[in-house]
Amino acid sequence: MTLVTFKAVRRRLPSIFMGLQSLLVSRDPHVIGVLRPTLEQLSIQVEVCPESGSGSEILLSEKFDGVIVDCDDLQGGLHVLESLKKGNSNRSSVAFALLNGTTTQRAFELGANFVLQKPISPLNAMRCFSAAVGFMLRERRRYFRHTVDMNITLVFVGGKEVRATATNLSEGGMAIHCSDKFEKNGLAKAVFVLPGRSVSVECAAELAWADSNGRAGVRFGQMSSVSREHLDRWLSEQMEQVEGSVG
């Protein structure tokens, strides 16, 4: 079987605009022969990298929903798994460890979410990845940031209110721009109405970062179940629209 390398192949669009994406770091022909059709049946695109060194380099700059690493039979495989959770691009990716029975506990300690023992059968592979799809979709939504031009109200401890504009929105927070000066500490909550909706969303919030040009990042805290439902549904609709427009 011919191994696929990464010398010239790169995605033209961020993975958020495409189906689920996975990276398989392995040079085992049997593993590749079993996992490629299994993942394709689940609508998970797979790219194969036969070397741990080049796999680590790719993970520094490209985003994947799932990363599958041959830990026991590929030199440096455990290092790829370890560095995965320490990097920025794929820290939230669902990690799969392929093992021959010698490093099961070590793989979990290094951050593997799922473990597959060799030799891998099509049935076991399908069971594992079918169970993992929900986790991958969940992390995809957490990663998704939608560009907006949305008015928000920031409420600080003591009751002070500051008007601002959100420039992007995600499940966990938003980027904002504010022309008014405000204290870097003491943010209590954020209140906003989602574009195209009439229901107000309110949640606890804190400043994650701020610069001298009025730009800041807001991290969401506790949110009512109703507000969370509205936000999650809205984000899911935006993801579907974006993916549909480029599909």
Same domain, 150 and 161: yes
User: Hey, what are 170's tokens?
Assistant: 């995600």
Same domain, 178 and 101: no
- How far CA 182 is from CA of 105, 137, 160, 194, in Å, comes to 48, 37, 9, 24
In a domain, 130, yes or no: yes
147: left (phi over 0), alpha (psi -120 to 50) or beta: beta
108 pLDDT higher than 90: no
Q: How far apart, in whole angstroms, are the C-alpha atoms of residue 108 and residue 122?
A: 23
Same domain, 79 and 153: no
Q: Which amino acid is at 200?
A: S
Rounded to 5 degrees, φ, ψ at 213 are: -105, 15
In a domain, 93, yes or no: yes
Q: How far apart, in whole angstroms, are the C-alpha atoms of residue 62 and residue 75?
A: 22
Instruction: Reduce the DSSP state of residue 139 to 3 states and report it.
Output: helix
pLDDT at 15: 41
* 104 vs 49, more confident: 49
At residue 73 the predicted structure's pLDDT band, cuts being 50, 70 and 90, is: confident
Same domain, 222 and 167: yes
Residue appearing with tokens 């504009």: 165
Tell me which residue range forms the domain holding 88: 15-143
Same domain, 196 and 120: no
Domains of the chain: total: 2
Where does a domain end: 143, 166, 186?
143
In a domain, 10, yes or no: no
pLDDT at 231: 92
Rounded to 5 degrees, φ, ψ at 103 are: -130, 35
**Which domain CATH number covers 201?**
2.40.10.220
* 120 vs 103, more confident: 120
